[in-house]
Structure 1
Amino acid sequence: MNRFLVPTSALMWGLQIAFLSPSLALILSTLYGATTAEIGWVLAIYNVSGFIASLVVPAWADRHLDYLRPMLLSGALTLLLVLVLAVVTTLPLVTIVLVVVGGPAGVGISMLFAHLRHAGARPSQIVDTRAIVSVAWVAGPPMATLIIGWFGPRAILLAIGLVALANIATTMLMIRGHRAALSADDPSTPAPADEELPLGKIGVVLVTAAFVLLQATNATSMSFLAVYVPQTVGIDVVWAGVALGVAAGLEVPALMIVGRLTERYSSLGLIVTSCLAGIVYYLGVAAVTGPFLLIALQVLNAWCFAGIGGVGLTLFQQMIPRPGLSTGLYMNTRRVGAVLSGPLIVLGGATVLGQRATFFACALLTLVGLLIIGAAGRHSTSRAPAESAAPAR
């Protein structure tokens, strides 16, 4: 049964996020009468809470070497969140609930990947699990839209609550299996030492900065495409939806392929190929004039995401020995990158190049990220001889 628990858990956590994230703005607007400005402020405060929770909760989990109980707590908090959202009627109270309950409730998926790392899962297994989360994201937003369209915005709260119950059930089964393994004197062991990538503090800072840039460009291209396609390319907006759908569909096989390649090639090397694919993709989108090239370019987009979203996670786990901290830090690069995507989108209306400037900027920032990762890789190779030459103590 344990073999199916992790994929099931990944699917359920992915569905929970895929249901809540695209629907939250609509929930705030329809149920609580929030204006556009109020929605922006509430989501910003909520994301700050999530950022803090993604550092505090993993730190506790690392100290206690326990990642399943925080997962269980996240499921329980999600259930509490939807129950309170269904009852509360004023926007200020909703904001408090999102900050106090919603932020910690969102760290469940981070704890799942931290648990896998702590239990000795190989990078390929972690990337395969990440692919299952992508499957949830392919199905989740359309399902959420249908639920809201057929039954109203409150119905999505019920759907999220049901998914939270499934997360609680699967996590409890995982805890029971973990306890059984401990009682049988077969405790989970950390990942093998040869999978670690000691970059030092400077290397970690460099990679983190690079990933903030890479996450920013990825978030920008995804959120801006629906505006760019009809206004600049001059084709129907439906092609933006088709392109994003094709990219989402290709993400799963791309993640599975890159997961297999982690067994043969270094994580840094695979990230480099993803950066190169991203640069070509952004330049291609900036030059595209019709739908067919736009769709064809999504192959590069999927490969770029597979490196950032899949190998990137395992890279952070390899360079930081604490599974909770490494996974939480990686997840927060996405949050900070999403904040930076705003100025990148604004750039599209501030230059003579128009909206194409946004994608040129994405290509440039991806190149900068690539150079930073290259510098981190050289820092790693320069440290290795020095450490091997150091006298034993």
Structure 2
Amino acid sequence: MRPLPASLKQMTDITSLAFLFIAFLTGIAGALQTPTLSLFLTTEVQTRPVLVGLFYTGSAIIGIVISQMIASYSDKSGDRKMLIIRCCLFGALGCILYAFNRNYFLLLTVGVLLSTFGSTATPQMFALAREHADKTGREAVMFSSILRAQISLAWVIGPPLSFALALGFGFKTMYLSAAIAFVLCSVVVWYTLPSMPKVKQQNSEVVQAPRQNRQAVLLLFIVSSLMWTCNGMYIINMPLYLISELHLPEKLAGVMMGTAAGLEIPVMLIAGYYAQRLGKRKLMHYAIIAGLLFYIGLFFFTSPWVLLVLQLLNAIFIGILAGIGMLYFQDLMPGQAGAATTLFTNTVRVGWIVAGSLAGTVAELWSFHSVFYIAAVMCLVATMCLLRIKIA
């Protein structure tokens, strides 16, 4: 195979750097909003815990419907570059609505719809990156791992910054900052990312996942959904648990999230390096074991420094899931990068649906701490499902 011309190599490098920067921007936009959402709904909108959980559930359901429609279109005839730009601009509008509105039902309908488009930019960016890697001959696993690490880097900065902006300057400033990140992202996408429009395919030409992979895809969907449910319950209840039950400083929640995100970066890179040698299924097993130990640790320890140390286990749990889980779906669904990436992203949303329902209800009936017991049980169920997947 003839080597690429120097000019094309340079263009490829510039495009790859652009992908990394865009991943960081979309990560920042999400990391500014998600960590403080439960606090925003409780203090600014003044809702009960059950309504906080309902908000997460409604957001996830709308997200699944919208993102799956976009994914189906993008795999057949859409131009992912233009989709990403539109999603970023809708996400910016959603942030502006959150900045100036405090009506719960308007946020639950219009706000969630706009935010869903904003969050859908990320899986479309990953799908475009996978196609870019395949086209330019880059090693897809490592490139995707580095790309995903950029989002974790954003989550190192985002949560502490989110709490600092929200508590120091108000939620209006925090949400407007997220809107600026979305707008900047759309500008960078417009000027740097490649346009890869697809010709609409006939039904007979649509690539389908091999039949033997479909059961594995279903089981992997269940495993990923359970793991994201555990993480969702943790994110929803952890800030309120620290403040209401442990009476620890509010900023500790942001520091813990940022610590976990920072540790996720080397975890993702190491997992990407060993993916071919160990197999993605075995790495997912390691992730679930780390998650189980993490939630068991939360049963017994309440000291701030121990909670920070436990974030290493949390980082292994989420780092492998976020990086390898997406690639596992793509391997099981060849030729359907958009659908596979969105299906993985929808496991996050399914996780939020279950987490939103359980976290709010359990907190109101028992305590914020009780959700960690449920998370540990879910890790055990995820392990049993993963054992039934035969494709590594």
Q: CA 1:22/1:276 → structure 2, altered by over 3 Å: closer, same or farther?
A: closer
Structure 2 distance, partners of 1:94, 1:224, is 20
Match of 1:14 among 17, 23, 27: 27
Q: CA 1:153/1:288 → structure 2, altered by over 3 Å: closer, same or farther?
A: closer
- AA aligned to 2:180 is L
In the alignment of these two chains, the number of paired residues is: 360
Structure 2 distance, partners of 1:197, 1:315, is 14
Is 2:346 aligned against 1:339? no
Q: Could you say which residue in structure 2 is the equivalent of 1:362?
A: 375
Structure 2 distance, partners of 1:289, 1:99, is 34
| Cα-to-partner distance string for 1:355-375 (whole Å, 9 max, x where unaligned) | 776434323321221221121
Match of 1:140 among 151, 158, 175: 158
Is 2:288 aligned against 1:275? yes
- AA aligned to 1:135 is L
CA contact (8 A) 1:215 1:338 kept: yes
Q: Could you say which residue in structure 1 is the equivalent of 2:186?
A: 168
- 1:210, distance to aligned residue in structure 2 (A): 1.2
Q: CA 1:167/1:229 → structure 2, altered by over 3 Å: closer, same or farther?
A: closer
- AA aligned to 1:299 is L
Residues 145-294 of structure 1 mapped to structure 2, 5 A cutoff: 145-175=163-193, 177-178=194-195, 199-226=212-239, 236=248, 243-288=256-301, 290=303, 293-294=306-307
Q: CA 1:199/1:20 → structure 2, altered by over 3 Å: closer, same or farther?
A: farther
| Cα-to-partner distance string for 1:206-259 (whole Å, 9 max, x where unaligned) | 111111111112223344444556888x68467666544432321122122212
Residues 316-327 of structure 1 mapped to structure 2, 5 A cutoff: 316-321=329-334, 322-327=336-341
- AA aligned to 2:318 is F
Is 2:138 aligned against 1:127? no
TM-score, scaled to structure 1: 0.78
- 1:24, distance to aligned residue in structure 2 (A): 4.9
Q: CA 1:282/1:146 → structure 2, altered by over 3 Å: closer, same or farther?
A: closer
CA contact (8 A) 2:53 2:358 kept: no
Structure 1 distance, partners of 2:377, 2:40, is 36
CA contact (8 A) 1:16 1:160 kept: yes
Structure 1 unpaired stretches of 5+: 183-195, 382-393
Identity level (%): 23
Structure 1 distance, partners of 2:116, 2:220, is 25
Structure 2 unpaired stretches of 5+: 1-13, 199-208
Structure 2 distance, partners of 1:243, 1:221, is 12
Structure 1 distance, partners of 2:169, 2:253, is 27
RMSD value, Cα: 3.5
Larger gyration radius, structure 1 or structure 2: 1
- AA aligned to 1:12 is L
**Higher mean C-alpha deviation, range 86-95 or range 62-71:** 86-95
**Higher mean C-alpha deviation, range 132-141 or range 151-160:** 151-160
TM-score, scaled to structure 2: 0.78
Structure 1 distance, partners of 2:267, 2:294, is 15
- 1:202, distance to aligned residue in structure 2 (A): 1.2
- AA aligned to 1:326 is A
Q: Could you say which residue in structure 1 is the equivalent of 2:324?
A: 311
- AA aligned to 1:160 is A
- 1:63, distance to aligned residue in structure 2 (A): 0.8
Is 2:68 aligned against 1:50? no
Q: Could you say which residue in structure 1 is the equivalent of 2:3?
A: none
CA contact (8 A) 2:291 2:379 kept: yes
Structure 2 distance, partners of 1:46, 1:153, is 19
Task: Report 1 or 2 for greater relative contact order, CA contacts < 8 Å, sequence distance ≥ 6.
Answer: 2
**Higher mean C-alpha deviation, range 64-73 or range 77-86:** 77-86
